[in-house]
Amino acid sequence: MEKQILHVDVNNAYLSWTALDMLKHGSKLDIREIPAIIGGDESKRSGIVLAKSMKAKECGVKTAETIYQAKQKCPNLQVFSPRFDVYKENSNKLYHLLLEYTDKIERFSIDECFMDMTNYLMNDTLLNKGKEINRRIKEELGFTVNVGVAHNKLLAKMASDFQKPDRVHTLWEEEIPTKMWPLPVSELFMLGKKTVPKLYNMQIKTIGQLAKSDKNILQKKFGKHGILMWEYANGIDNSEVKYLPERPKCISNSVTLPVNISNLSRLEEIATVISDQVAYRLRKEGLLANTVNVQLRTKDFEDSSHQSKLPQATDVTKEISEKAKELLKQMYKKGMQIRLVGVKVDNLIEKEQQQLSLFSNSNKKQKNLDKVMDNLKEKYGYDIIKRAGKMDLDGFVKLKDV
C-alpha cells in the first residue's frame, strides 16, 4: 500500500511562539510586525540570531549571524531572549492536535513533525487532511505552519520547504521533475554543506543534475552517501515514520461540504458516515468513548457544537452514530445552510477500564458486525465496504441542496 505522509513545519517558530506568549500576557506589541529577533545574550558580541521577523529579514538580517552584525544592518532592531519553556509548551500543543489524526507521529524537531496518515485518511484525501491541519493550527493555536504532502518522508519534507509561510504543498512522484529538480543541489534534504562544493566541481549544481548523474561515479566519490544522495535526488526514500506511541485524548473527523446542505436527513447521513470513521479509529486504538460531540459550521462561518455523555463507554459505530444524530437534531434549525459537519469522541478510556454492566452483552451483534467490517477494511482498504443505506461523502459533490 502506498504511504501517505505529511510533514508539518511551524513558520518562524521561536519568534511566533514568543509573540503569542507576549500577547497572551497583555503585551500590546506583536513582535512579528516589527524589526525583531530572538537572540542569545545581547551583552556579548558573540550572541547570535536564532529567529527573525519579516521586517528584520527585509533589513538583511540573517539567522545565525551575530546580534552585533544584525544591529549594524538594522539599528532599530529589538532583541528578545529565547524562552524554551514557551517553545516546549507550544510544541506539545501542536503534537496533541496532530494526535487527533494519527498516533504515528515523529517529532523531528521542536517545531516540525512527520505524520504517517496511511490507513488514517478515512475516505478523505491526503491533500484535504493537510489543508485541514494547516487551517486548524492557525485557528486554534494561533500560529501558522507549512504542510508538505507526499508519499514518503523525503518528498514531504522537501514540499514543506517550498514557498512560505502558511502554505500546503504537494510533491508527488510525477511532480519531481518540475518542482524539485530545478532547485539548487544545496536544497536537497540531508545534503551537507561540505558536499556542495564537491558537487559543484563535478558540474552538478541542481538536484536534477544530481538525479541524472551516474550513481556508480557518485559511489566512488562519496561512498554510501553518494548512493543516498542519488536516491534522494530521484525522490526515493523508504524510511519509516519513527513514532513513540501515545494515546490520543480525543478522536475527531469533519468534512467541509462541496455545497451547502440544509436538508436534515442528508446532514444525518453525513454524520453517520463521519461517526463510522471515528468509531473505526477508536477501535484501532483499543479505546472506548464516554462522550460524543457534534460540530456544525454555517455558510457564514458561524460555529456551534453540542456534546452529550453516552450511557456507557463504547466503541460501537451504531451507538456513536445514534448519539451524533440525536445531537444534530437538537442543533438543527430549519433553513440552516451547513458547510461543515464534525463528530468528536472524548473522555476516552482503555477497554480494560470499562466496568461490567448489566447491558454489556446487549450490543454483541453490533460489535461482531463492526469487527467483520474492520477486518475487511484492514485487508482491502478503508473504502472497500460501506454500511448499507449510508451515503459515500464523495457523492455529495454531485448533490445540490433542496
CATH number at residue 156: 3.30.70.270
CATH number for the domain that contains residue 64: 3.40.1170.60
Residues 6+ apart with CB under 8 A from 56: 35, 36, 37, 70, 74, 77
Q: What pLDDT does 60 receive?
A: 94
* Domain contains 221: yes
* Shared-domain flag, residues 377 and 273: yes
**Mean per-residue pLDDT, 43-61:** 84
246-289 per-position pLDDT tens digit:
778 888 888 888 899 999 999 999 999 999 989 988 888 888 99
Strands, sheet with 5-10, edge to edge from the N-terminal-most edge strand: 105-109, 112-116, 5-10, 145-150, 168-170
Residue 79 lies in a domain: yes
Going 157 to 90 to 40 to 31, the CA torsion angle's sign is positive
Q: What is the CATH number of the domain that holds 285?
A: 3.30.1490.100
CB contact set of 291 (below 8 Å; sequence gap of 6+): 307, 308, 309, 310, 345, 346, 347
What residue spans of 251-363 are helical by DSSP H?
A: 264-285, 317-331
Q: Are residues 301 and 262 in the same domain?
A: yes
Question: Which of 29, 62, 84 corresponds to the end of one domain?
Answer: 84
Averaged pLDDT, 55-76: 91
Same domain, 340 and 353: yes
Q: Please report where in the chains the cell 548512493 appears, as a residue.
A: 227
User: How far, in Å, CA of 288 to CA of 378, rounded?
Assistant: 20
In this structure, are strands 145-150 and 112-116 parallel, antiparallel, or unpaired?
Answer: unpaired
Judged against a pLDDT cut of 90, whether residue 95 lies above it is answered with: yes
- In this prediction, residues 50-61 reach a mean pLDDT of 92
- Angle at which helix 317-331 crosses helix 264-285, to 10 degrees, equals 140
The whole-number average pLDDT for the span 33-49 is 79
Q: 227 and 255: one domain?
A: no
Amino acid 226: pLDDT: 95
pLDDT at residue 283, rounded to an integer: 87
Q: Does residue 293 lie within any of the structural domains?
A: yes
If pLDDT is split at 50, 70 and 90, which confidence band does 325 have?
very high
Share of the chain above pLDDT 70, in %: 86
Residues 121 and 53 in one domain: no
Q: What is the pLDDT of residue 284?
A: 85
CB 4 within 8 A of CB 117: yes
Listed residues 169, 189, 219: the one ending a domain: 169
Higher per-residue pLDDT: 104 or 366? 104
Q: Are residues 27 and 59 in the same domain?
A: yes
CA distance 69 to 56: 12
Instruction: For residue 262, tell me if it sits in a domain.
Output: yes
Quick one: pLDDT band at residue 399, thresholds 50, 70, 90? very low
pLDDT over 90 percentage in the chain: 66
Evaluate whether residue 240 is within a structural domain.
Answer: no
Residues 285 and 383 in one domain: yes
Question: What whole-number distance in Å separates Cα of residue 323 and Cα of residue 307?
Answer: 9
- For 301-319, how does the pLDDT look when each residue is reduced to its tens digit (9 = 90+)? 888 999 999 998 999 999 9
Pairing of strands 287-298, 338-346: antiparallel
In a domain, 239, yes or no: no
* Confidence at 206, pLDDT banded by 50, 70, 90: very high
The pLDDT assigned to 219 comes to 95
Residues 341 and 270: beta-carbon distance below 8 Å: yes
**Reported pTM:** 0.73
User: What residues contact residue 228 under an 8 Å CB cut-off, 6+ apart?
Assistant: 190
- Could you tell me if 216 and 355 lie in one domain? no
Let me know if 240 is a catalytic residue: no
Q: Please give the backbone phi and psi of residue 75, each rounded to the nearest 5 degrees, phi first.
A: -60, -30
Residue 242 lies in a domain: no
The domain in which residue 390 lies consists of 250-398
Q: Which of 84, 100, 124 is the last residue of a domain?
A: 84
Residues 77 and 92 in one domain: no
Question: What is the rounded distance in angstroms from the CA atom of residue 61 to the CA atom of residue 286?
Answer: 50
What average pLDDT does this structure show over 103-110? 93
Residue 391 pLDDT > 50: no
Query: Looking at 42, 100, 106, 112, which residue is catalytic?
Result: 112
Q: Has residue 294 got a pLDDT over 90?
A: yes
| pLDDT confidence bin for 390, thresholds 50/70/90 | very low
In terms of domains, do 144 and 206 share one?
no
Query: What confidence score (pLDDT) does residue 334 get?
Result: 87
Number of domains in the chain: 4
SS3 296: strand
Q: What is the mean pLDDT of residues 207-212?
A: 97
Residue 126 lies in a domain: yes
> How would you class 31 by CB atoms within 10 Å of its CB: exposed for 0-12, middle for 13-18, buried for 19 or more?
buried
* 3-state secondary structure (DSSP) of residue 5: strand
* 236 Cβ neighbours under 8 A, 6+ residues apart: 152, 154
Same domain, 259 and 387: yes
Separation between Cα atoms, residue 147 and residue 71, nearest integer Å: 33
Per-residue DSSP letter, 192: -
351, pLDDT greater than 80 = no
Tell me which amino acid residue 144 is.
T
Tens digit of pLDDT for each residue in 135-183? 999 999 999 999 999 999 999 999 999 999 999 999 999 999 999 999 9
Q: How many contiguous H segments (helices) and E segments (strands) does the chain have?
A: 13, 13
| DSSP conformation letters of 220-279 | HHHTHHHHHHHHHHTT---PPP-------SEEEEEEEEEEEE--HHHHHHHHHHHHHHHH
**Mean pLDDT in the chain?**
87
Same domain, 162 and 79: no
